[in-house]
Structure 1
Amino acid sequence: MKLDPTSLRLFVRVAEMGTITGAADAEFIATSAVSKRLSELEAHFSTPLLHRNNRGVELTPAGNALLHLSRGVLHNLEDLDLQMRDYTSGERGIIRIIANMSAITQYLPGETQAFFEKHPDIGVQLEEKVSPVITREIMANGADIGICAKLPHGYDLAELPYHTDELVLVTPLNHPLANRDAIDFRDSLEHAYVGLHSSSAINLQLLKAASLANRPLRLRIQVTSYDALCLMVQAGLGIGVVPRGAIRQYVGGLQVRVLPIRDDWAKRPLCIYVNNIDRISMAARLFVDHLIESSNNSKQQLAIEKSEKAFKSSLM
């Protein structure tokens, strides 16, 4: 015989009620089944646990010790069951997320903080990777959730719309392009660029756009972060392309000019990727739902602000 929770629970019930019959009635099982379980426990420990008499049962010293230990074990098992049910319901858990720099710098800090306020017992492991790597990692179950630019990837993944990046051109204040209100990307290719690292989605997009324009992309220097790129631009080392939202925290203290890019690709959709939306953990599903809700609220707010701005312009 191996110890099991059912035998311990029945033993505790017998000890508390003082009779085998009373315990059997309370547990809705046959008296003989309870008696058999007790005999098996005594055989397992090779010691009497109960003294049976006409009034019911009395615990032996070994029985008293087992009663105390059994209550602790059963309590721990109940706590284990409750905690594991929390994981099933999504109240507890660890979510593995990989995201590109754009999502991490613009959207995830605030959205993750709001998620933690609703689900304080869920943890998040966040790692930055470039967009082309993220979809491959999600396909290989390297993380629960991937967030990156929408790119062709060839994998059978669930793709959910997230935010939309507006890519903008950043120039030094004294640059020949700095006095423009907006720019076509091909007109910027006469000038040297500060680029991001080679495998970043933005760098790949710039190379593609330059190729379509039949002009080279003159990369003078490449860096690995948006703030480094802005500092290099400010120093006069070239111009660069970054998401508008990612540089808001830098522009206030930087001497740079920000120009909208007219090309269609400058409006860059970000997506949430999961391997199978029906098989991710409940905690991960709650986080995905939260991100989508936050994105939708943000889009609605932008639409309201745009409408109000258009209305005010019509009155002028």
Structure 2
Amino acid sequence: MDFDIKDMQLFLKIADTGSLTQGAKERARSLSAASARLKLLESQLGTKLFYREPGGLTLTSSGEMLLAHAKNIIREYELTRKKFSAKQAHGTSRLRILANATSIAEIVPDILVSMLKRDGNVSVDVFPRNAKQAIRGILDFDSDLALITGDEDLCGLNSINFFTDHISVLFPWEHELSSAQAPRLSDIVKYPLLGIYGSTLTDFIREHVEASRLHAEFKILIDSFDPIARLAEANAGVAIIPESVAQRLCQKYRTKALRINEAWAFRERRAVFGDIDFLSFHARTFLNILIEKYFQIDANSVALEDMIEK
């Protein structure tokens, strides 16, 4: 047989997404190349690995069997790679980060600027993922670390809780909400909502709307905050977003923001990663800068292990 690590990684992505197209995209391969590699893998194993159905690809019994073996293969490969990378003074591998929309917009850029000042040769890939996807990515060794929001099950991963972000409502100047000193959710859902597509924050809001027995209309879902602010500025709706994001947007657009007056209206921000012994040099550097920025301490004066949530 003549398949390699990349074939196993591709197979796992296709199995995870149920889509050859998405699997190819996430492994940075063309659709035709991914299809050819999958067909070759099936040919070498002498069996079909997926059922091709209208709703996507699902694993056959042989595919399920390979899935378990492929995870073990990738796990051992990644542990070996990270072990040797961690021993290098300056690891040459790329730093891979999974992060939600808020982190990509408000947190990651500043830390990368500081990293580049320390080492101009560092290479980084940042992929947008919600919390559940990010945790799965760390468990599957698809990433070195993740920045998430909320209280998702971390499945035994390590985490550093570095910031509490309150939730606010963003609206245009002279909007009716301007007169509310401390708007409640019931005040906000009277208006069309703007949100981030596929975001755990959007799911979080929906859960609390349902729990409060209210009705909310998400008029527009889009993939980043600046378009949301432009839409809010044009009175297309109001947006429930992190206060840290709202403060920046209000300086750029003709919008205002007020903190939501609800007991649940805050989100904990965490950096999540696997075994600390296998962290690459660049992953440790990223975490050290994050600690310095949000805890206002010298990272050299505290062990990374001491910052991990118990």
Q: Do Structure 1 and Structure 2 share a fold, with TM-score over 0.5?
A: yes
Aligned CA-pair RMSD: 2.2
Match of 1:108 in 2: 108
* Matched residue SS, 2:138: helix
What are the residue-to-residue correspondences of 1:61-210 with 2, within 5 Å?
88-90=88-90, 92-153=92-153, 155-197=155-197, 199-210=198-209
In structure 2, do the counterparts of structure 1 residues 92 and 104 end up closer, same or farther at CA, with 3 Å as the change threshold?
same
For 1:214, the aligned partner's letter is: R
* Cα distance in 1, alignment partners of residues 86 and 117 from structure 2: 17
* Cα distance in 2, alignment partners of residues 129 and 214 from structure 1: 29
For 1:289, the aligned partner's letter is: N
Q: Is the CA contact (8 Å cut-off) linking 2:144 and 2:279 kept in structure 1?
A: yes
The one-character-per-residue Cα deviations of 1:131-167 (angstroms, maximum 9, x if unpaired) are 2211111111110010010332352211111222222
Q: Which runs of 5+ in 1 are unaligned?
A: 1-83, 299-316
Q: Which runs of 5+ in 2 are unaligned?
A: 1-83, 298-310
Match of 1:292 in 2: 291
For 2:184, the aligned partner's letter is: D
Match of 2:255 in 1: 256
* Matched residue SS, 2:190: coil
Match of 2:54 in 1: none
For 1:232, the aligned partner's letter is: L
In structure 2, do the counterparts of structure 1 residues 186 and 91 end up closer, same or farther at CA, with 3 Å as the change threshold?
same
The one-character-per-residue Cα deviations of 1:207-235 (angstroms, maximum 9, x if unpaired) are 01101111122212211111111111111
Residue 97 of structure 1 and its aligned partner are, at CA, apart by 0.8
Q: Is the CA contact (8 Å cut-off) linking 1:231 and 1:254 kept in structure 2?
A: yes
The one-character-per-residue Cα deviations of 1:220-252 (angstroms, maximum 9, x if unpaired) are 221111111111111112111112222444323
Normalised by the length of structure 1, the TM-score is 0.62
- Tell which structure's C-alpha radius of gyration is larger: 1
Match of 1:18 in 2: none
* Cα distance in 2, alignment partners of residues 262 and 277 from structure 1: 38
Match of 2:224 in 1: 225
* Cα distance in 1, alignment partners of residues 160 and 252 from structure 2: 35
* Cα distance in 1, alignment partners of residues 138 and 86 from structure 2: 25
Normalised by the length of structure 2, the TM-score is 0.63
Mean Cα displacement is larger for which, 179-188 or 264-273?
179-188
For 1:188, the aligned partner's letter is: I
